[in-house]
Amino acid sequence: MTETKDRDIYEKISKEDVLKKLTEIFEERNVTNKSGDLYPYSYDMTECEPHMPDFIVIPENALQLIELVKFCNSNLIPIVPFISGNNVGGLTIPENGGILVDFGKKMNKILHVDDNMMYALLEPGVTFGQLKKHLDENYPHLRYSYPFAPPYAGVVGNVLLSGMNNLSCKIGSMGDSINGLEVITADGEIVRIGSCFYGKDEAAPDSWWCRYPMPDLMGVFINWQGMTGLVTKCAVQLWPNPPIKKTYLAIVFGLTDVAPVMREVSRTDIIDDISAVSIEVVKMAVELPIPTKFSGEPDFASMFSISAKTKKQFKAKEEILFNEIENLNKQGKNVILVNADEFVKLFNLRVRCYLDLPSVVLPLVEYSGLTWFGSYAPSHKLEELIEKVNKLFNKHNITPFIYMKMMKSGHYAIFRPIMRYNKFKEGEEERYHMLLEEITDVCIDLGCIPYKTPAWMTEKMRKKINPGWINLFEKLKKFMDPNNIFNPGRWNT
Amino acid sequence: MTVIKQRNIFEKISKDNVYSKLLEIFGSDYVTNKDVDLYPYSQDMTENKPHMPDFIVIPESKEQLIELVKFCNEYSIPIVPYTTGNNVGGLTIPDYGGIVVDFGKKMNKILHIDDNMMYALLEPGVTFGQLKKHLDENFPTLRYSFPNAPPYSGVVGNALLSGMTNLGAKIGSMADSINGLEVITVDGNVARIGSCFYGNDKAEDDSWWCRYPMPDLLGLFVNFQGMTGLVTKCAVQLWPKEPIEKPQLVVFFGLTDLGPFLREVGRADIVNDVAAFSVEVAKMEVGIPEPVKYPEEPFYTAVMPMTAKTENQMNAKLEILKDIIEKLNKEGTDIHLIDYSEFAKIFGLKALNIYNLPSQILSLHEYSGLTWFGAYAPTHKFEELIEKTDALYRKHGVPPFNYLKIMKGGHYGIFRPIIRFKKFTDQDKIVRLLEEIADVCIDLGCIPYKTPSWLTAKLRKKINPGWISLFEKIKHCMDPNNIFNPGRWNT
Amino acid sequence: MLNIEFPDDLISLSLYNIFSSRKDERKFIKHAKDWNKKIMLHIEPFYPVTVIFNGSNIRFERKEYPEPDMKVKLHINTMLDIANDRLNPFFAIEEGKMEIEGLGEDSEKIMRFYNIFVVSMQMAAQEPNVNYYEINKNTR
């Protein structure tokens, strides 16, 4: 196992020489080593330990990055990719120092939207808000999908880390939405992967339409947290934007009853998105300072989004949904279905932050700290997960915030206990981290697989993963990045 | 680039010693080196050059295979995986001799069906017919899917080679349906990939539910044609079975009407699949031995499985479908929709054979040879592909047999000119036609799947050097002695 | 016994299919044999086909004969409606969904046409077994 160790990068080459080289590649105004500039990149909203980078660079094109990679590879200097720093996992904290590459500032163009084969070709820095605006204005008959995250979060990061969005009940993990990548590997080669692989020098803009059927090299860059190369372009699938859209809110009484509701409704194969939040999260969204659940209040609120091309199709889907809810109530569950748009008008428009994605949930981002255990989960374990995690929250006297989704019409689920906290309050970070660790242990024990994993979490996972997988993983990492320059430290490399 | 060269396998170790070792691992009942046993594995239905293997082995367990891989790696002996030999691409022809591993005979168990998270855990030898029967009898609320291929073709091979089935318009490439793999790598390690990766020794049956979100090692075994390791288990996604079934037949009187239809219907997200055939194929299916298209007959027909949970949902889908056709016809196409089940009852139940399992066109199998250029295709090029291949077929005096699909809600298409031929008389003509078709299609951006080596040699000229470099490096990393199906992709 | 020539175009083949399941049936033979008529059938959107009844033989030609004994024109979906009993053939004529020329007042012609074409279609549609290989056990 490659050990994480402190590297003395500047033994081989001095910091000044590095600065000189970077200035040569990127120009002075796109390079910095000043503490005041470096500081915001040294930490994120999580409790993961901060670490200063040595340099920030703002690239404009792939050619600059090729030079950078070659230089860093021969001098063993770490490279950490950064888009907007909104991942909840410490993934852009440069644990071993080195050079942080900020794609978000300049490499953020929407290069091409293909109307016919429905995809968007993007640079890594494109944000959700940017993409939504572009589509709404220029391709209103097409849509992308958006996560429960702010509009300034990055699209490419979300797909490369198999995120989940508001079409995920229909389309599953965002990892399945990638049509093509352009990447730079450790030896400075530029590689185009997917149907865009045709063309010696460059790909035609209309050629980024599919991941298959050639040998699937794309997997080498998915969920690798930037450990295997630098992605410079990414093509993601779009979908038709149907004229009729409606969201329902299902209010569920009974702590674990939300689980069968989500399972059964997702299997109907008519829902675009299913997510569920603890009622405390709903109360938090309407800015109750201490959002406690009182007896008699429902335990969970679940949202189902449906869309259709015609009124007839919509009515047919609605009928199926109503029948399913009726069945569940007959079986003894206590579920009330309401029209979400109408409900929030009466209840509180702020709750629209769950409906209009991408969105900023102010009460989450106002706190200085946010962390979570975000995982893909086996759906038959949801009841047990809810019960056990709820107990842990209560044990630590912290308000339970649980977020769940059903994916790809019921094939798997997302289970995500969330914690917001005050970073600068004495003892808070430790307290929350302890809770997070206990939650991690319980969830992994029940088969959950965390995504966007910080290194302390992957360390726990390594104890449980079959040695064959670890072997293959390490072999591939070493092969792709023999000098361990790409985001070293992730997955304890 | 690794140069294709003849290897003298039995320099390092004698054939007899290899044989002894194989007997030791697999038992005498499951090893053969007799010509009469080897011969059927030396060729397939395509025009690809036959080559005799040196041995066939029939494994029963992964432990046997671990020993085999370690042994072969030490002595650089090629290993070629084989399920049923029905791929149309020469993929199981052992180009360099060596050992063909026949999974189809014994490693063919359905290990687990998970009703809740809807997946099936399979050994590599499981066939489509076998899986369908098992689900119909034991899990009638669940379904898998099947391709327009015989029921005795393999499920795992189809998924690992990103095949397409009768749910193609809904779910796309079958590679997206893989939840997990158990593989043996060249060093004899067993790796479990996907959500099943938990568990030091083995995985729980209920843990094979997702490919993500860990670093995606699964890609190393998808579309690699067995070049990176031996797959011993594969979990594939199932789907709920919908009670209302109303398949539709569409006929196209304009040569290129199929193009806009596929694009529009794909995007509408209402059909499970669109399998479109040249009318010559349809005629062949209903029993005309040497089908010719008459001027008044439609150019293409398409079979579209459609299902729904309720009658209302089905009627809503049909309404959208009819609107699309009406709109297209107003724009100049000549397309007509017919209820497929009713049509088949009156006009020939044989037509249903392509829709149900066994989903085979017997007249294709009756000829000794079948080959095709099967490709993933950019949908805006459908018209041009149809026109240009049509011209090529006519030039060579061969009836046009084209097969097209639209995939994953209209995101990409499949274009597949098919050629049946008499192996010992027509071969040269067919090889020439196939090459010309390949050139035209690749030029228009098509990407062939299940590629024989002559085809990958063409592709290599067009693919960006970075990709080729990375591909070869990964192949070398995974298989430094080139024992896994050597020769594929010209390695 | 009747002899039905095996055709090679789609529509004729379909008619062949409809008739051949009854070719040894006494009732069918009684109506079809020695009818000696040319019946033109145009199933839209497809092309017209002429069915030629000649003694014990039935054959098909992919064309419009200049002076057939009868001309029938209807849409494929109308045909399926009639076959599946959703539409009475006489109502179909009344509503203009099926056009027939040459029927006249000849009751024998009407009866034979009805028994050969309409009844055969209806029988084929009613067959519950849709497994081709079970119904055609002699097939390869």
The domains found in chain B, sorted by start residue, are: 9-105+476-490 (3.30.43.10), 110-240 (3.30.465.10), 244-451 (3.40.462.10)
**Number of cross-chain residue pairs from A and B with Cβ atoms under 8 Å apart:** 293
Q: What was the ipTM of the complex prediction?
A: 0.93
CA–centroid distance for A66 within its chain:
26
> Cα dist. B289→A228, B20, B316, C6 in Å?
55, 50, 39, 11
pLDDT digits (tens, 9 = 90+) for C100-134: 998 777 888 888 999 999 999 888 888 766 665 56
Residue of A nearest to B208 (CA): A378
List the structure tokens of A93. Answer: 């904290």
**Chain B residues with CB inside 8 Å of A241's CB?**
none
CA–centroid distance for B183 within its chain:
20
- E strands of chain C, at which residues? 3-4, 38-44, 48-54, 57-61, 70-75, 98-101
List the structure tokens of B363. Answer: 């007249």
| CA nearest neighbour of B101 among B22, B155, B43 | B22
Q: Which helix (H) or strand (E) holds A406?
A: strand A402-407
Please tell me the predicted confidence (pLDDT) of residue C14. 82
Which residue's structure tokens are 């674990």?
A256
pLDDT digits (tens, 9 = 90+) for B47-63: 888 999 999 999 999 99
Please tell me the predicted confidence (pLDDT) of residue A6. 61
Cβ–Cβ gap C121/B344 under 8 Å: no
Please tell me the predicted confidence (pLDDT) of residue B2. 32
Query: Of C9, C14, C76, which has the smallest distance from its Cβ to B348's Cβ?
Result: C14
Cβ–Cβ gap C8/B338 under 8 Å: no
Q: Which helix (H) or strand (E) holds A328?
A: helix A311-330
Please tell me the predicted confidence (pLDDT) of residue A183. 97
pLDDT digits (tens, 9 = 90+) for B161-189: 999 999 999 999 999 999 999 999 999 99
Cβ–Cβ gap B251/C80 under 8 Å: no
To the nearest whole Å, the CA of B362 is away from the closest chain A CA by 27
| CA nearest neighbour of C6 among C26, C29, C23 | C23
Please tell me the predicted confidence (pLDDT) of residue A353. 73
Domains, in order of start, for chain A: 9-105+479-492 (3.30.43.10), 110-240 (3.30.465.10), 244-444 (3.40.462.10)
Query: Of A189, A206, A450, which has the smallest distance from its Cβ to B378's Cβ?
Result: A206
Output the DSSP codes for A115-174.
TTTTEEEE-TT-BHHHHHHHHHHH-TTEE----SS-TTSBHHHHHHTT---TTHHHH--G
To the nearest whole Å, the CA of B290 is away from the closest chain A CA by 33
pTM metric for this prediction: 0.92
Q: What are phi and psi of B133, to 5 degrees?
A: -60, -45
To the nearest whole Å, the CA of A286 is away from the closest chain B CA by 32
pLDDT digits (tens, 9 = 90+) for B259-312: 999 999 999 999 999 999 999 888 887 778 788 899 989 999 999 999 999 999
Cβ–Cβ gap B206/A378 under 8 Å: yes
CA–centroid distance for B188 within its chain:
27
To the nearest whole Å, the CA of A488 is away from the closest chain B CA by 15
Q: How many residues appear in chain C? A: 140
Residue of A nearest to B264 (CA): A116
pLDDT < 50 positions in chain A = 1-5
- Cβ atoms A218, B220 nearer than 8 A: no
Please tell me the predicted confidence (pLDDT) of residue B452. 87
Residue of B nearest to C120 (CA): B346
Cβ–Cβ gap C47/B296 under 8 Å: yes
Please tell me the predicted confidence (pLDDT) of residue A140. 97
- Cβ atoms B391, B67 nearer than 8 A: no
Computed on alpha carbons and rounded to an integer, the radius of gyration of chain B in Å comes to 23
The separation between the first and the last C-alpha atoms of chain A, rounded to the nearest angstrom, is 7
Cβ–Cβ gap B477/A212 under 8 Å: no
What CATH architecture is C3-135?
2-Layer Sandwich (3.30)
pLDDT < 50 positions in chain B = 1-5
Cβ–Cβ gap B283/C10 under 8 Å: yes
To the nearest whole Å, the CA of B375 is away from the closest chain A CA by 8
Cβ–Cβ gap A378/B117 under 8 Å: yes
